[in-house]
Amino acid sequence: MAKRDGTLAKNEKYQFQKLKMCKNCQRYSVLKDPICPVCRKHYKLVHQLVRKSAVKHLFTEAIWVLTGTGMGVIFAPTTQTMYCLAGGTLFYISYIIVTSIFLKGEYHYQLKIRLRKDLRKIQAGIRFDSNLAKEAEREGQLEAAYEKLCEIDDFVYSDEVKIMQLIVLNKLPVRSRVEPELERLIPSSYDKKFVNYALKVLKQNRARFTKRCIAYFSCYRENIMMDFGGDSLISIADTALRMKLYILEFSGFIEEFLEYLPKEHLLRLCSMVEANPNIDWGSLKGNTLRLVERKYSSDSDFHRFFAHLRVIDHA
Ligand SMILES: [Zn+2]
């Protein structure tokens, strides 16, 4: 299947290793099943078919060269036969060397032609594969459905496949055998199914929330606020406190939810700020310390940070 803009995605060299075709019904597939579900014949790998065809093409040309040489030997005057034979043999050897050098190029050329010619058939094949995944999902075989969708996802880079995966993942328990990288599932625009799944993952394992995941939540915070409420955003801002790099990258986002951060995490933020006096924390530093003074003025855990606040206020 092509991307929405009609181009084939990801690493093409790797992608086409997976593409198979049933020579009987001309159906393409990217699923692992070795047998065509329509006519029960074995699939052939497309890259092997194309390689065979490239070798066959070059071999046919070599036969023509040999035939020409043979004809030359037969019809040449006797004195010139040896020259003709020697010339023909030399040409034949050179031809074999040159063609083996260009075999790879010929393979890629034929692969490109085949994919262009059969693009609609490939798209139809992937649609058929997607329908098999949907059928498995409807029958409650969620892990099998997800596996099929992952195989399609390796070949096709589109939001449509990601959303289909998210539908299945939202039905599976997070601690199932299936634990995909969250980052791989990030769609190109706001999608509730992704947010829902990401929040499920967050409850189980915050470490799986990468910079790109936090950036997604920060970018679509208004939509998320409407659909999932403020608590979900507070938990993401809290997650961003895990690393100094994330705090710097998402300082504005963290500031928005500073007020609602749990005490231990606010303490951690203060310690991070105190331990890195040379870093420019922007307004996050002042706002954090002022909040601490307002909310935790009687809490001895925070007292050591008040000296920093006085320095900021006098600056
Ligand atoms: Zn078939």
Look up residue 28 and give its two tokens. Answer: 């393409």
Secondary structure tally for the chain: helices H, strands E? 15, 3
Asked whether residue 129 is domain-assigned, the answer is no
Asked whether residue 48 is domain-assigned, the answer is yes
Strand partners, 44: 21
Look up residue 215 and give its two tokens. Answer: 């950036």
Closest-CA residue to 5 (of 132, 159, 129, 152): 159
Both 240 and 269 in one domain: the answer is no
As for how many domains the chain has, the answer is: 3
Return d(Cα 206, Cα 1) in angstroms, integer.
34
CA 24 to ligand 1 center in whole angstroms: 5
Both 186 and 228 in one domain: the answer is yes
Give the CA diameter of the chain.
115
Question: Residue 276 sits in which domain range?
Answer: 262-315
Asked whether residue 220 is domain-assigned, the answer is yes
CA 137 to ligand 1 center in whole angstroms: 23
CA 6 to ligand 1 center in whole angstroms: 26
Closest-CA residue to 164 (of 122, 130, 199): 130
Per DSSP, the three-state class of 257 is: coil
Asked whether residue 173 is domain-assigned, the answer is no
Per-residue pLDDT of the chain (315 residues; tens, 9 = 90+): 333 333 444 455 567 788 999 999 999 999 999 999 989 999 999 988 888 877 777 778 777 777 776 776 677 666 666 676 777 777 777 777 777 777 777 778 888 888 889 999 999 999 999 999 999 999 999 999 999 999 999 888 889 999 999 999 999 887 666 777 789 999 999 999 999 999 999 988 888 889 999 999 999 999 999 999 999 999 999 999 988 899 999 999 999 999 999 888 888 898 888 888 888 888 888 888 888 888 888 888 887 777 665 555 555
CA 107 to ligand 1 center in whole angstroms: 25
CA 134 to ligand 1 center in whole angstroms: 20
Task: Tally the C-alpha atoms within 13 A of residue 47's C-alpha that lie toward its C-beta.
Answer: 11
Asked whether residue 25 is domain-assigned, the answer is yes
Asked whether residue 123 is domain-assigned, the answer is no
CA 309 to ligand 1 center in whole angstroms: 73
Asked whether residue 51 is domain-assigned, the answer is yes
Both 108 and 33 in one domain: the answer is yes
Both 243 and 269 in one domain: the answer is no
Domain final position from 258, 292, 307? 258
Both 253 and 268 in one domain: the answer is no
Closest-CA residue to 21 (of 11, 36, 38, 40): 36
